[in-house]
Structure 1
């Protein structure tokens, strides 16, 4: 404990005890090994005798320990979200790090086996690349297969041969054993299983990488339900795979122009964020209830299953059982009941758009497995683990975008677009309006291919270096995914034609159920307070100018970027000084080595060269960071 106190006082900053204890252990061990081979190897009897070098041994233990702590600090993740009290260097983190590296090596080996990691592959035809990608995702399993299934719905981004290959992906997951299911139920339910359920079918009706679904009957109400159970230990494994997936997508983006054009990395990041929400069933329950409440005010027949929130937890979700099948298997139901397929498609499409435009909360993943056809022919939406949310400004932007598209009004289209993109200081609005005008002329014909329209819009966004807010991009992804889903019912479904039809039929929703007069009146009310304050502001300004009291305050450190830059410069200077200091001390130690006591001086040589190495590391680190910053 005394040695720990000395080390922490010398460091001068708060460091976790686990990190200090581990550094002291390694410091004593490494120094003892060096001390033995340098002093005692040829004279082991000196172990029990006093030697002047014993004092140096303690000194070098302290230096070595501080050096190890320094290495730990350099390897630690000092993100701005973490405080000093939460940065713990534990053996569990080390174990997780090795687990992550092992899994990464496994994925890399699979990618290399399928030639997905070589540039030669990407110079071949797209068909061979698609096959290699499908095989890689299939063999990696888990979230990789799910990501491939999501990509297979992106007909707006991927060529047909990729869509066909990725559509072949199927999750082959093992069912949980009866003991594992019972363990989850006993852990999550307030009492015994039979106190909640009259019956519970241990044979799952569906299974995926995250969890599996069982049928059951509630004891109190005899209501048929489905119970989603989260797989044990899925959270840690999922986070590791998602991290690797993002790295893998980043590598593909560097090697393949196609991957860059479709935004493979951003797709992977969005997918990872959605998956992390899906492993907490409380989020899905809250999302489902919120959307159900919002849909009460909509004129829609789309069914959303009831959530039994009182017996649901983060790992257990109890949902109303609905009699129906997915759209992929339910087209026969529509034909048997003589239901117009086009009207069925419109019902679902209009519901999603109303979710976007009115409540701002929408189903973010309406893939074929999440859209049902009930036995009475009604549509239903299930699985709200992934939900998007838009603020009022973004909703207004979407509405103006829709009206601008319908009226071919480039200014209105641009006005809506600017509310949907992240801030950009160098936008040439005149050139952007001209480009959007040309885009609307070229791409608003009913005969125009939707995929081409979307491709041209995203191409225009890239040209002006614009990017949507993440949730806005999520809304676009939701609509595009929905198009792929609804095309299963009737492949003549076109999202652009339906969007223009929706704008014409639901203009009251676009205008927030207001007449033109009401819109003008509300806009006038909103700017009235600003107009009334202008004379007073002008009077205050002229008075200060007359009295010589007009001052201008520039708060340099008010901007986060400025603070970040200053911190970077200070850190670089300190690192440079530390490297120079270590180098100077090391040179001093080497100069002392000209003395006569060979053993002690040889021991000093070791630490002198160690100091020179540390000095070189610091100086090279400064140069690399300076070069990288000058490039970016």
Structure 2
């Protein structure tokens, strides 16, 4: 019955979409989202009604099955419509606490493996931006991209001068699609939550930065000048603008640009992305148990679903830098012993015809806790000292070089600037969360541009509510669980349901605060890929926040 109703609704929306398409492609995209979301919503409501009389465990199993069945639908929407929807999917996939596991796992493909466009299309865009044939600027240009994302894709190439570079190319239709999709989001919020409309309008300007690669080049140049000098082993891809020391003279003399609105040529960064490290670590763990990576993930998700305490323990367990380093050294020592044994065997037995022995190297992951501390030190310095930060440091935008230990940060399409007064309030909020100072957290939370209305009759102190909400935003997995319980919820699923809307209404929120949240969520996703998902953003940002306040002779709290 439900499937029949879903099919009828989908066909009805599809018919309406065909009508609107000729006049308004934005309406078509709007209806395409509705055609996907409506069946999911109806199925969710149906299962909720059908399982109303069941016990908590049985009801949970019903919804676990629902999430597994619908896990691929959001990814399908993102891939078919691309643009803004891919960007949303990237953010959500990088934060495991925001979605049930089946959805976050499905959406991970959006971090690096979005289907790319054919090379002839890309060549046409590049030559249009250069104003000349591609081979005038490049001696080689790899047709297969190294990555594709929401608004464009990236290729390796070699300049005529011999420099190895990466070339970022923007799809021409992306900006128009973004305007349509954002209008869709605005229509929805005008109905369901009018208070958010003004906030979304302000956030729109932040997203629009990404459509001008000249602006991204300026952002990278700023990071190279204002942040890179303070951190050994930190890299940013330097854009081939007028300040690049190796900009080809022949191109400069001919007036051929390597940075335009839709074309960005940059230095090639060494190493692999954290997303790739995460995939390799998953494959290695699965192989040790004799299962495929998909089977390993399924077994892990099933265990987390059936045992909530196990999920909490997983999110809370964070090895120290020393523990992780001993683990790494153990793997290296094991590899050394294997190589020595193989060498001895090959020197003695192999000549006698017994065949050679190969010593396969172990996968030695980066020191996750150390790398995360470094990343938060860099982002803390960027926020508080440079007054500008990248709101999109998801695992596909963080690279690690095994050989040197260098860390490269890429994709600076969104650089959010903060004035000094806002940085002071945010620094106090971070320190207050870390120290559990509810009074300062309440005042800083408000001064950062946030207000809420607590509608519930529960006897919860408003001061404690502010700290709870701030913990949910910047306290990591453990802080999030503490904050949820402080507000009277048993788990994240309940807190994200309709009961939260009945209890609490956010009446004001600063878009810059939202972008800081997004940065924290993305970095949490990096931690998840490195086996350190339980880290607290506030705890790791607190040293930079404290130094910022101390340098200005400011107290941690308000007087």
Judged with a 3 Å threshold, the aligned counterparts in structure 2 of structure 1 residues 344 and 422 are, in CA distance, closer, same or farther, namely closer
Look up the SS of the partner of 1:472 in the other structure: helix
Q: Describe the superposition over 1:437-487 as per-residue Cα deviations: whole angstroms up to 9, x where unpaired.
A: 9859999xx998232245468989974745331011210221122112112
Judged with a 3 Å threshold, the aligned counterparts in structure 2 of structure 1 residues 213 and 266 are, in CA distance, closer, same or farther, namely farther
Determine whether 1:176 maps to 2:118. Answer: yes
Q: TM-score, normalised by structure 2?
A: 0.61
Look up the SS of the partner of 2:230 in the other structure: coil
Q: Describe the superposition over 1:150-182 as per-residue Cα deviations: whole angstroms up to 9, x where unpaired.
A: 22233343344543454466865352342x333
Other-structure match for 2:184: 244
Other-structure match for 2:516: 475
Alignment of 1:111-260 (within 5 A): 111-112=37-38, 119-120=45-46, 125-127=62-64, 128=66, 131-132=69-70, 134-139=72-77, 140-143=80-83, 144-167=85-108, 173-178=115-120, 180-220=121-161, 222-247=162-187
Judged with a 3 Å threshold, the aligned counterparts in structure 2 of structure 1 residues 177 and 468 are, in CA distance, closer, same or farther, namely same
Look up the SS of the partner of 1:309 in the other structure: coil
Judged with a 3 Å threshold, the aligned counterparts in structure 2 of structure 1 residues 245 and 126 are, in CA distance, closer, same or farther, namely farther
Q: Describe the superposition over 1:507-533 as per-residue Cα deviations: whole angstroms up to 9, x where unpaired.
A: 76232525xxx559xx99xxxxxxxxx
Judged with a 3 Å threshold, the aligned counterparts in structure 2 of structure 1 residues 419 and 205 are, in CA distance, closer, same or farther, namely same
Q: How many residues align?
A: 410
**More RCO (CA 8 Å, sep 6+):** 2
Distance (Å, rounded) in 2 between the aligned partners of 1:131 and 1:385:
35
Is the 1:130–1:165 Cα contact (8 Å) retained in structure 2? no
Look up the SS of the partner of 2:24 in the other structure: helix
Determine whether 1:282 maps to 2:214. Answer: yes
Determine whether 1:369 maps to 2:396. Answer: yes
Other-structure match for 2:261: 314
Other-structure match for 1:511: 549
Other-structure match for 2:525: 484
Look up the SS of the partner of 2:532 in the other structure: coil
Is the 1:393–1:419 Cα contact (8 Å) retained in structure 2? no
Structure 1 unaligned residues grouped into runs of 5+ = 1-93, 255-259, 525-632
Judged with a 3 Å threshold, the aligned counterparts in structure 2 of structure 1 residues 200 and 210 are, in CA distance, closer, same or farther, namely same
Report which of the two structures shows the higher radius of gyration computed on alpha carbons.
1
Cα displacement (A) at 1:306: 0.6
CA RMSD of aligned residues (A): 4.5
Q: Describe the superposition over 1:349-377 as per-residue Cα deviations: whole angstroms up to 9, x where unpaired.
A: 21112211212211101111111112422
Is the 2:119–2:144 Cα contact (8 Å) retained in structure 1? no
Match of 1:391 among 415, 419, 428: 419
Judged with a 3 Å threshold, the aligned counterparts in structure 2 of structure 1 residues 118 and 273 are, in CA distance, closer, same or farther, namely farther
Is the 1:116–1:136 Cα contact (8 Å) retained in structure 2? no
Cα displacement (A) at 1:268: 8.1
Alignment of 1:333-412 (within 5 A): 335=328, 340-375=367-402, 376-412=404-440
Is the 1:186–1:193 Cα contact (8 Å) retained in structure 2? yes
Cα displacement (A) at 1:223: 1.4
Distance (Å, rounded) in 2 between the aligned partners of 1:267 and 1:275:
13
Determine whether 1:292 maps to 2:224. Answer: yes
Is the 1:300–1:347 Cα contact (8 Å) retained in structure 2? no
Cα displacement (A) at 1:384: 0.8
Larger deviation, residues 457-466 vs 360-369: 457-466
Q: TM-score, normalised by structure 1?
A: 0.55
Distance (Å, rounded) in 1 between the aligned partners of 2:379 and 2:90:
21
Other-structure match for 1:326: 273
Q: Describe the superposition over 1:295-324 as per-residue Cα deviations: whole angstroms up to 9, x where unpaired.
A: 045335321111112420001011111121
Alignment of 1:49-128 (within 5 A): 97-112=23-38, 119-120=45-46, 125-127=62-64, 128=66
